[in-house]
Structure 1
Amino acid sequence: MLNQSVPDFELPATGGVQFRLSQCKGKLVVIYFYPKDSTPGCTTEGQQFRDLYPEFRAVGAEIFGISRDSLKSHENFKAKLSLPFALLSDTAESACTLFGVMKMKNMYGRQVRGIERSTFVLDAQGVLRYEWRGVKVDDHAQQVLDFIKTL
């Protein structure tokens, strides 16, 4: 999918709105997929994107976090962390499937299906310019911001 247009998709978002990718044309878009609200790694990742949000906005980028959690869970998580960007609920895994982030993972000695922590950057025309898969949280948001500054 790298260097190709990402197909339009629609998901319910925090704040009672419907997110549609095509409405982001003209802006750089960061989409980060994370496993679960209110878990340690996902909390740290959300905080890092939150803390760098003014810098992302300064370069014309919008951030969206996606997991399979419910909107109610997302609203609580967003409020708890004071996240300035929308979280999208993908309970049907449509965007997860589109971006190929569903993987089998080991959890407590057994195989479970879940989201592989991944981040995608789309340019102002909706073309996928970079992807990170199997993300390690430490310093990741800064890496994404550094890449966006090269566009």
Structure 2
Amino acid sequence: MSVATSAAPLAATRLGRDRTDHGLFRARELSATTVLVAAVGEIDAANCGELLSYVEKLLGDYDQLVLDLSRLSFFATDGYSTLHSINTRCARRGIDWVLVPGPEVARVLRVCDPEELFTTAGNIVSAVAALARGPHTHLQLAPPLAK
């Protein structure tokens, strides 16, 4: 016996995009409570503040965040500090979030986050499924990267 299920497609409304010297940030509403923020290009000391500001602008309107960094060509350790700041701000606001790291981000996480304090997923679909399974609010906050 086979079972078929159908679901309405996710909304694909573009909320905006910001371009920096090294990358492009985009936001897309996945549902009334979930926003996807994707970055393409590079995240380094020159633009990690812009990524944080971009995410911060969206946090007040949603209960869940998917941060897709899978298409980055470069991710500096400054980016880890940005992830820590996003984690802290989400935890304070009760916003559940999942990170979709690509190879560049995964490399930095192996060094800077060996305890795997951030919830990660292999792709956007898996991230949305993880959010649907329940809250991942990080009560134990990841330590900031020592400078």
Larger C-alpha radius of gyration, 1 or 2?
A: 2
TM-score by length of 1: 0.32
Higher relative contact order structure (alpha carbons within 8 Å, sequence separation ≥ 6): 1
TM-score by length of 2: 0.33
